[in-house]
């Protein structure tokens, strides 16, 4: 049996009945495709896990069978995908952007969000919660549980004025001034948590987990590895 990829889980999401999730990182089995990783490491088949062609948008979609197969190979574009069907899951691919996984404490519902700085500034988090609100009602949205996974953080993620200005509209606290003129350090995880809190989800049901992907050897990073960077597939699955 090939070795398992490194992965972490959210204690908050693990406490939600009926769902399974993971934030995988570096896979020591070189050349193993993401759909093979799902089956071999997590006993979840790619034919039941939906992904989208991510475009740094605010497009939120409901799961459809055509979204399954090789991650990202489907025809639909978007950056958030949700499902309410037992036996299906949703996932996002990242290598410094923020993976956000969402579950509901009482009903079958799971969502995955891909949030780079553009998506955060444009409102992908707000639009995702709005879509779920429309489906299940505002009162039910209060029972969502959300984990924000490993991504680029302020220890390493240096950005320019344009990016800093965009993120400041989400959370000024997620930024600190750099030593060079016009440079800032940004914490995408902190920005995502702020955006989630602004939707009304209680703080006790929000969790940020995992390290900075840029400096951690356990996760893939585009900023560190450039075009050679692989992608990690974070996913959440409704098993009953």
Instruction: Collect all residues with Cβ–Cβ distance below 8 Å to 77 and sequence separation of at least 6.
Output: 52, 53, 54, 55, 57, 59
- Reading the chain (240 residues) residue by residue, the pLDDT tens digits are 789 899 999 999 999 999 999 999 999 998 899 989 999 999 998 889 999 999 999 999 999 999 998 888 778 999 999 999 999 999 999 999 999 999 999 999 999 999 999 999 999 999 999 999 999 998 888 899 999 999 999 999 999 999 999 999 999 999 999 999 999 999 999 999 999 999 999 999 999 999 999 999 999 999 999 988 999 999 999 996
Q: In whole angstroms, give the CA distance from residue 66 to residue 79.
A: 16
How would you label 178-205 residue by residue, b for 16+ Cβ within 10 Å and e otherwise?
A: beeeeebbbbbbbbbbbbbeebebeeeb
Looking at residue 31, the DSSP 8-state letter turns out to be: T
pTM value? 0.97
| Phi, psi (rounded to 5 degrees) for 9 | -130, 155
Question: Which pLDDT does position 72 carry in this prediction?
Answer: 82
Q: Which of 98, 92, 18, 9 has its CA nearest to residue 49?
A: 92
Question: Which pLDDT does position 187 carry in this prediction?
Answer: 98
**CA 190 remoteness from chain centre:** 13
């Amino acid at each position: 049996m090939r070795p398992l990829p490194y992965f972490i889980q959210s204690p908050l999401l693990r406490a939600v009945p009926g769902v399974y999730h993971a934030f995988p990182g570096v896979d020591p089995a070189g050349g193993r495709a993401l759909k093979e990783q799902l089956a071999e490491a997590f006993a979840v088949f790619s034919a039941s896990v939906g992904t989208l062609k991510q475009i740094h948008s605010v497009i939120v979609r409901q799961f459809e069978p055509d979204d399954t197969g090789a991650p990202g190979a489907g025809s639909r574009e978007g950056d958030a995908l949700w499902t309410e069907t037992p036996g299906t899951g949703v996932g996002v691919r990242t290598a410094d952007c923020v993976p956000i996984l969402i579950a509901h404490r009482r009903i079958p519902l799971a969502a995955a969000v891909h949030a780079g700085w553009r998506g955060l500034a444009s409102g992908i988090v707000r639009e995702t919660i709005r879509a779920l609100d429309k489906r299940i009602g505002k009162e039910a949205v209060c029972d969502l549980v959300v984990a924000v996974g490993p991504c680029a953080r302020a220890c390493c993620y240096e950005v320019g004025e344009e990016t800093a200005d965009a993120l400041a509209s989400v959370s000024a606290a997620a930024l600190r001034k750099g030593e060079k003129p016009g440079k800032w350090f940004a914490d995408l995880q902190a920005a995502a948590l702020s955006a989630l809190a602004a939707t009304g989800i209680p703080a006790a049901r929000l969790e940020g987990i995992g390290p900075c992907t840029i400096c951690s050897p356990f996760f893939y990073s585009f900023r560190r590895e450039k075009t050679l960077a692989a992608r990690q597939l974070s996913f959440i699955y409704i098993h009953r």
